[in-house]
Amino acid sequence: MQRREFLATAAAASLAAAEARAAEQPVRVGMVGVGGRGTALLRTLADHAGVEVPAVCDIDDNAVARAQKLVAESGRAKPDAFARGPEDYRRMFERNDLDGVVIATPWPLHAPMMLAALRAGKAAAVEVPAAITLDESWELVETAEETGVSATMLENWVYRREPLAVLNIARAGLLGDIVHCESGYGHDVRAGKFDARRANKGELAWRGEQAVSRDGVLYPTHQFAPTAMLMDINHGARIESLVAMGSVSEGMNRYAADIWGSDHHNARRSYANGDRTTALLQLEDGRTALNFNDTQSWHPRDDAHKYHGTKGMVRWPFPGEGTIWLLDRHWDGRSLDAREWHSLNPFLEEFDHPVWKEYGERALAFGHNGADWLELRGWVESVRHKTDPPVSIVDAATWSAIGPLSEQSIANKSQRVEMPDFTKGRWKTNPKFELRWEWS
Ligand SMILES: NC(=O)c1ccc[n+]([C@@H]2O[C@H](COP(=O)([O-])OP(=O)(O)OC[C@H]3O[C@@H](n4cnc5c(N)ncnc54)[C@H](O)[C@@H]3O)[C@@H](O)[C@H]2O)c1
C-alpha cells in the first residue's frame, strides 16, 4: 500500500471511530437564518455524526420549510419551525433541548441574536462579521465573560488549507520574523446586494442597504483571519490603530444600470461604500498589515494574500497557485534559488495542518474548499466537550472591529483611529493561536 493510501485509510478509520463516539453524545443545534448561507451550513452540519437539529428559525416560511426538509432527508427528526416573525428566535432560544445555535442572518442581526443566545445559555456561533459597531463588539465580549457561555464567529478562512500550512511554515522558522501582511477579499457579490437571486426587480437586498449607508472595510474577517493568526494578534501582539480609504463607488450603479436600465432608481442613487476599501493597520510593535475589501467591482474573483517575513515571503492568490520565496535556500536539505519564487504546493504537502491530513478528503466535498466542514466540526466538538471554541469571541470582536473603525477613519479623511483592546491587556500573555483538532 502506498503511504498516501495508507494515510487515507487510517484517517477514514479514525474518523469513523470518532463519529461512532460522537453519535453517543449528540450536540443539539438550532439554526437561525436559513437563507443562502444558513442552508449551506445546515447541509454541511447534516454530514456530521452526533449532530441533531431540533429547531430552525427564519422569517421566510419557504426557507424554513426547505430547512425542515433538508434535515428530515438526512435521516434526522424533522425540526420544529420558528417563523412567527423577526423576534421568534427568542422563543426558540427558550427551548431546553438546544446545546447551541448557529446564526446566519443579515449583519445587523448578528450581535443582537448572539447576545440573546448567550443570555439564554446557548452556545452561539455567528456568521461573519460578529459585530458591525464597536459597542456591539464590546457587548459580545462582556456578555460572553459574564455568562461564561461559549461564543464564537464562524470564520471559515481560519480553516482553509493554505493559511494553516503557512502558519506551520512560519512557525518552523522558514519565513523569519513576519513584518508585514497584505490580504484582501475581491469577490463580486453584487447579485446578492440586489434582489437578483429572488424577485429580480432591482430592489436592494440587506447587503445592498449596507452599501448605501456605510463606507468602510465592511467584510473584513475573511481576509484578516489568516493575517491575525500569522501575526499573533491578541496572542502576543496587538493592533494599535488603523487608517482607511475608500475608492470611488461605481459598481452598484453600473450593475443596476446593466440589468434594470439606467433609469432604474437604484442605478441612479448614490452608494456610500467605495468599490475598494482599504485599511492599513499599525501594530503596537511597529509591524503593519493591509486589509482590502472589494465586493462590488466587476472584475473576476481576486483575493490576494501576501505575507512578508525577514527570511521569506508567501504569496497566496485566490484563484491561483501560491508561491514562496526563501532566503535560506538550504532549508531542510532543499536547495532553492533565492532569486526566484517557487511553487507553494510542495510546501503545502509538507506543512499541512494535521486537521487537513486527517479530515481534508472528507471536508473537500463541502463549501469553501472544505473549510465549511472543518469549521463546523471544530465548533460542534467544542460544544460537545465544553472546550473553548476554535475562534475566541475576543478575536472575533477584534477582527470585526476593523469594519466600524475603517468607517470612522474614512469619514474623517483617513484619520488614524485607535483599536480598542478587547483582550483587556491579556494579549501580552495569551498563548499563540492554535487550532484544536484532536476530535473524538
Ligand atoms: N462565511 C462565509 O463564507 C459566508 C458566505 C455567505 C454568507 N455569509 C454570511 O452569512 C450571513 C447570511 O448571508 P446569506 O447570504 O445567507 O443571506 P440571505 O439573505 O440569503 O439569508 C439571510 C436569512 O436570514 C433570514 N432572516 C432575516 N431576518 C431574520 C430574523 N429576524 N429572524 C430569522 N431569520 C431572519 C432571511 O429571511 C434569510 O433567509 C451573512 O452574515 C453573510 O455575511 C458567510
252 in a domain, yes or no? yes
Indicate which atom in ligand 1 lies nearest the CA of residue 219. Answer: 43
Same domain, residue pair 45 and 70: yes
Give me the residues paired with residue 105 across strands. none
Nearest partner of 284 among 230, 225, 243, 241, judged by Cα: 241
- Please indicate, yes or no, whether residues 173 and 249 belong to a single structural domain of this protein: yes
Instruction: Please indicate, yes or no, whether residues 294 and 244 belong to a single structural domain of this protein.
Output: yes
Residue 37 pLDDT > 70, yes or no?
A: yes
Mean pLDDT value across residues 378-393: 95
Q: Ligand 1 in contact with 104 (CB < 6 A)?
A: yes
* Count of structural domains within the chain: 2
Which of 155, 180, 205 lies at the terminal end of a domain, its last residue? Answer: 155
Ligand 1 atom at minimum distance from 60 CA: 37
- Residue 139: what residue type? E
| pLDDT value, residue 116 | 98
pLDDT tens digits along 230-269? 999 999 999 999 999 999 999 999 999 999 999 999 999 9
Q: Are residues 261 and 361 in the same domain?
A: yes
Residue 5 confidence (pLDDT): 60
Which atom, in ligand 1's list, is nearest to the CA of 371?
A: 3
Q: Is the dihedral of CA 102, 106, 109, 111 positive or negative?
A: positive
Q: Indicate whether 306 and 419 sit together in one domain.
A: yes
Segment 397-409, tens digit of pLDDT? 999 999 999 999 9
Q: 160 in ligand 1 pocket by Cβ < 6 Å?
A: no
User: Of 58, 89, 155, 218, which is best to mutate to test ligand 1, by the most ligand atoms within 8 angstroms of its C-beta?
Assistant: 58
pLDDT of residue 9: 65
Quote the crossing angle between the two packed helices 354-363 and 371-384, to the nearest 10°: 110
Percent of the chain with pLDDT over 70: 96
Continuous H helices in 221-281: 221-230, 251-260, 265-268
Instruction: Please report which confidence band the pLDDT of residue 44 belongs to, taking 50, 70 and 90 as the band edges.
Output: very high
Q: Is residue 316 situated within a structural domain? A: yes
Q: Which domain holds residue 343?
A: 158-428
Mean pLDDT of 71-99: 98
pLDDT score at 1: 45
Residue 436 maps to a domain: no
Residue 433 lies in a domain: no
Residue of minimum CA distance from atom 11 in ligand 1 = 104
Place of cell 417563523: 83
Q: In testing the pocket of ligand 1, which one of 92, 113, 127, 373 has its CB within 8 Å of the most ligand atoms?
A: 127
Examine the domain organization and report whether 150 and 162 are in the same domain: no
Residue 35 CA to ligand 1 center (angstroms) comes to 5
- Domain with residue 147: its CATH number is 3.40.50.720
Mean pLDDT, range 346-371, rounded to an integer: 95
Say if ligand 1 is within 6 A of residue 245 CB: no
Which atom of ligand 1 is nearest to 367's Cα?
A: 3
Write the CATH number for 164.
Answer: 3.30.360.10
- Give a yes or no: residue 281 inside a domain: yes
| 178 falls within a domain | yes
Please indicate, yes or no, if residue 46 is contained in any of the structural domains: yes
**Among 125, 140, 155, residue at a domain's last position:** 155
> Taking 90 as the threshold, does the pLDDT of residue 375 lie above it?
yes
- The answer to whether residue 439 is domain-embedded is no
Q: What is the pLDDT of residues 5-29, one digit of tens each?
A: 645 566 666 677 777 777 778 999 9
For 276-304, what is the mean pLDDT? 97
Eight-class DSSP state of 416? -
Whether pLDDT at 314 is above 80: yes
Q: What is the whole-number distance in angstroms between the Cα of residue 376 and the centre of ligand 1?
A: 17
148 and 169 both lie in a single domain: no
Each residue's pLDDT tens digit, 126-158? 999 999 999 999 999 999 999 999 999 999 999
Say if residue 248 is in the same domain as residue 359.
Answer: yes
CB within 8 A of 36, min separation 6: which ones? Answer: 192, 197
Is 214 in the same domain as 144? no
Cβ of residue 107 lying under 6 Å from some atom of ligand 1: yes
Ligand 1 pocket mutation pick from 32, 37, 369 by most atoms within 8 angstroms of CB: 37
CB 311 within 8 A of CB 338: no
Write the CA distances from 321 to 56, 345, 433, integer angstroms.
39, 8, 26
Cα 404 from Cα 174, distance rounded (Å): 35
The answer to whether 407 and 278 have CB atoms below 8 angstroms apart is: no
148 and 168, same domain (yes or no) = no
pLDDT at 4: 52
Residue 3 has a pLDDT of 46
Q: In this model, does residue 439 exceed pLDDT 80?
A: no
The answer to whether residues 273 and 386 belong to one domain is yes
Q: Which atom of ligand 1 is nearest the CA belonging to 154? A: 1
Choosing from 121, 136, 155, the residue where a domain stops is 155
Same domain, 183 and 116: no
Distance of CA 309 to the CA centre of its chain: 24
Q: Where are the beta strands (DSSP E) in 302-349?
A: 303-309, 312-318, 323-326, 342-343
